[in-house]
Structure 1
Amino acid sequence: MTSKRETVLAAVRTLIAGALPAAEVKRNLAKAERIPPGGLAVVRDGDPGEPETTLSPLTYHFEHRIAVEIAASEAAGTPREQALDAMLRAIGTAVAANRTLGGLCDWLDAEAPSTDDAEATGSLPVRFALLTIVASYATTDPLN
């Protein structure tokens, strides 16, 4: 049986993939070789943090901070800033529409992203964002 942590991470990846159907959505990608025309999203495992504990019944309450890297390049005449903004809005809409990940979480929220440009010789300029999705959930075992 898959742990609650892994189930939540997989559900966040699925949520983002649904929000960004034209983008490639990966998990823990080491290094992107290229940014596809529809953009790239990388879901990192993040940090579940130190849980709060209730004793009866024994329950661990996590606020898991899941890092998500989003990258967009100019495509079909759309500036990379607009492409990235559209991707971020789509993720925000998906999070707002499914705050419990189908019952897996008590609450799901996204923090405001930080954005920047990335340039490499011989490639198109890329705009990227780093955002954090916070999944609040409980489990009876800190390793589950």
Structure 2
Amino acid sequence: MPTPRESILAALHARLLALPATARRGEVLPERVPSAGLVILRDGDPGEPEVTLSPLAYHWRHRAELEVVVQGSNDRDARFDALCAGISAALAADRMLNGTCDWAEPGPPRPVDLAVEGAAGLKAAVIPVTLHYTTADPLG
């Protein structure tokens, strides 16, 4: 049986799979970015939990990251904006990720334009997603 942390990350990835862009988890950036864009979920850092003792519970503010990438010269900015808006809508539709966490909150993207020698440029950003949840085990 998966830990609560793994269940939450799997539920987040499942939400991203509904986007028109390709959604992957923990993979390297491919040589070619799909035309609809690419979102790579990074498991991120669970940080240090707040602990309550009666009953024993670990309250997490886990910071996962989404690497968002679009490539091309035509309407790249508009496609990037649409992809970010799609991520926002996907998370807003179910902040509790099918009941696996207490709340999922995306942060603002930090976009950057990247030149690629011999190919169309990339527009990319990291979008932090804070996952709030509680476990009974520090390894959960």
Determine if the TM-score, normalized by the shorter chain, exceeds 0.5: yes
Say if 2:77 is the partner of 1:114.
no
**8 A contact 1:73–1:83 mirrored in 2:** no
Structure with the larger strand share: 2
Aligned residue pair count: 140
Say if 2:101 is the partner of 1:105.
yes
Say if 2:135 is the partner of 1:139.
yes
Who is 1:123 aligned against? 119
Who is 2:7 aligned against? 7
Following TM superposition, the consecutive aligned residue runs of length 4 or more in structure 1 with deviations greater than 6 angstroms are none
- 1:31-56: per-residue Cα shift (whole Å, max 9, x none)? 32210111110000101010001111
- % identity of equivalent residues: 39
- 1:1-34: per-residue Cα shift (whole Å, max 9, x none)? 111111111111111111x1x3211111123221
Unaligned runs of 5+ in 2: none
Cα RMSD (Å): 1.2
TM-score for both structures, normalised by structure 2? 0.95
Alignment of 1:32-71 (within 5 A): 32-71=30-69
